[in-house]
Structure 1
Amino acid sequence: MDRKVNKGASAAEATARHIEELILEGSLRSGDPLLPEREMALRLDVSRPTLRQGIKMLEDKGLIVTDAGGTRRIAPLATSITDPLVELMSSGGRVVDDYLELRSTLEGMAASLAATRANDVDRATLTRCMERIDRAHEKADARDEAEADVDLHVAVYEASHNIVLLQIMRALSGMLRKGVFHNREKLYARSEVRDVLLLQHRAIFEAVMARDPAAAARAAEDHMGYTRRVLNEIAAAEARLEISLRRLEGGSIAQRD
């Protein structure tokens, strides 16, 4: 059911605040296109001039942008990868490990809250995500399975109903999708790892669905701990291979017969 704008404040301010709330709670996401002006005004039960004023307020705050085709969209928010500090951090191996360490704590918290707070809509979303993981696993489709992996985690964040946690984790998952911290497909290229990840995702899912916060937190933390270990192993193996290749080539600067 569409929520109407609270007309208690100035209509334009109330309209802007209502849209801000939709962004904050995660109903509107970075890059989402907005409805055409006429339809959006009807949905919000405001006049088109009022809607324009409200949108102008949000444009001034950088929350709404208009693309080249004239479509209004939610601006790139916390998922933006343009910050040079983020790019600098992502190039360091230690930062990748620190990132995974942070996620271990936050994932456990999110899963625990989801087990306590998830409603029927959340639980249906989680079920669809788990089914998609199962299908991708059966097809051995590394890319689709990696995407379904992130979607399940995002669904857990949403089910936590903690707005700050949701926005932080959406930012991290946005970076993860774009390979800013590590390439998830490296994980899914190994069949034995894929099997373990499937079981771990199912353990998180089942604990949340069983409304068991302790088990959900434990399953999420175990999953992130395993992911961290495997990625460290992959990075170490790649580093050893690079050294071996350099030795064969004399570091590319020695003359070899």
Structure 2
Amino acid sequence: MPRDFAPIKRRRLSDAVSAQIQDRIAAGELRAGDKLPPERELAERFGVSRGAVREALRNLERTGVVALQAGARGGAFIGQGDPSLIGDSFRNLYQLGGVSLDDLTEARIWLESTVVRIACERATEADLAALAANVDEAERLLLAERYEDKIDIQVEFHNLLAKATHNVVMVMLMAALMDVMRDFAHAVGGERTDLTIRARRRFLAALRQRDAAAAVAEMTEHLESLQVRYRERMRDRRGSSRA
């Protein structure tokens, strides 16, 4: 480490420790995989107790900034980050009522419209093959009446589409949204029709033709139709529960 850590003078000592470590990461002085000094040494450098250092490291571990490893060669290492935490935040907001189905659908239309346009330009033959195989698997599960398993496959279609942009930020944003949609879809139950599968095949035809306008229109129509079907299933579930 090129610089020493400065003594902490704030009340929330663990927060201040965390902030200094994050500052070093932002400055490029600490990189993924770097090992931090032992707790005792960190406590001396920061001028705080080992308990404050331990709490700071655990907080950073929860956010994916630090990875704590046990054993003789263990310790605290700068992590790679955890994109799934974005999805966890969205999921918590949805479960607490801070995000509605309308909000989710609107955000999905905006995001997927951009993703589709980029995918039309960048998707490789391997990307197209993965998307087609996903639709084939969803159809197989439908015919086998494995409706709940089909949900996960159909959610993965959107993640594969985001990967076809070859942009890691788009992949993370899509994964976060689809984590919420997976929970929601399982809550209302798997769809027992082939409406989504047929929509996917039309969409893939436009994508293969690199027709961005047609592909965006097909995806938007599908998401709006899906929202209506979700509402119907939610209403049916509420009615059956009251009965």
Shorter-normalised TM-score: what interval? 0.5 to 0.7
* Amino acid across the alignment from 1:217: V
**Residue aligning to 1:38:** none
**Residue aligning to 2:123:** 118
The answer to whether residue 181 in structure 2 is matched with residue 203 in structure 1 is no
Residue 95 of structure 1, aligned match among 73, 93, 100? 100
Alpha-carbon contact 2:162-2:171 (below 8 Å) kept: yes
Query: C-alpha displacement at 1:54, in angstroms?
Result: 5.0
Alpha-carbon contact 1:146-1:185 (below 8 Å) kept: no
Alpha-carbon contact 2:120-2:210 (below 8 Å) kept: yes
Residue 76 of structure 1, aligned match among 77, 82, 98? 82
CA distance in structure 2 between the partners assigned to 1:91 and 1:235 by the alignment: 17
Using a 3 Å threshold, how does the CA distance of structure 1 residues 64 and 121 change in structure 2: closer, same or farther? Answer: farther
Using a 3 Å threshold, how does the CA distance of structure 1 residues 74 and 127 change in structure 2: closer, same or farther? Answer: farther
Runs of 4+ more than 6 Å apart: 57-61, 68-73
Q: Which has the higher contact order (CA 8 A, sep 6+)?
A: 1
CA distance in structure 1 between the partners assigned to 2:101 and 2:31 by the alignment: 43
* Amino acid across the alignment from 1:183: A
**Residue aligning to 2:33:** 55
Normalising by structure 1, what TM-score? Answer: 0.60
Normalising by structure 2, what TM-score? Answer: 0.63
Alpha-carbon contact 1:133-1:149 (below 8 Å) kept: yes
Unaligned runs of 5+ in 2: 1-29, 37-56
| 162-171 vs 145-154, which moves further | 162-171
**Residue aligning to 1:183:** 185
**Residue aligning to 1:213:** 212
Deviations 1:95-148 (A, max 9, x none): 122112211222222122212210123222223222222221221211221111
Unaligned runs of 5+ in 1: 1-51, 246-257
Alpha-carbon contact 1:79-1:172 (below 8 Å) kept: no
Paired residue secondary structure (2:83): coil
Using a 3 Å threshold, how does the CA distance of structure 1 residues 142 and 183 change in structure 2: closer, same or farther? Answer: same
* Amino acid across the alignment from 1:77: P
**Residue aligning to 2:111:** 106
Paired residue secondary structure (1:160): coil
Deviations 1:15-42 (A, max 9, x none): xxxxxxxxxxxxxxxxxxxxxxxxxxxx
Paired residue secondary structure (1:136): helix
Residue 140 of structure 1, aligned match among 129, 145, 148? 145
**How many residues are treated as equivalent by the alignment?**
186
Paired residue secondary structure (2:67): strand
**Residue aligning to 1:227:** 226
* Amino acid across the alignment from 1:218: A
Paired residue secondary structure (2:194): helix
The answer to whether residue 152 in structure 2 is matched with residue 174 in structure 1 is no
* Amino acid across the alignment from 1:56: D
Using a 3 Å threshold, how does the CA distance of structure 1 residues 54 and 167 change in structure 2: closer, same or farther? Answer: closer
Query: C-alpha displacement at 1:68, in angstroms?
Result: 6.3
Using a 3 Å threshold, how does the CA distance of structure 1 residues 155 and 68 change in structure 2: closer, same or farther? Answer: farther
CA distance in structure 1 between the partners assigned to 2:153 and 2:96 by the alignment: 25
* Amino acid across the alignment from 1:154: N
Using a 3 Å threshold, how does the CA distance of structure 1 residues 101 and 53 change in structure 2: closer, same or farther? Answer: closer
CA distance in structure 2 between the partners assigned to 1:53 and 1:87 by the alignment: 30
Paired residue secondary structure (1:65): strand
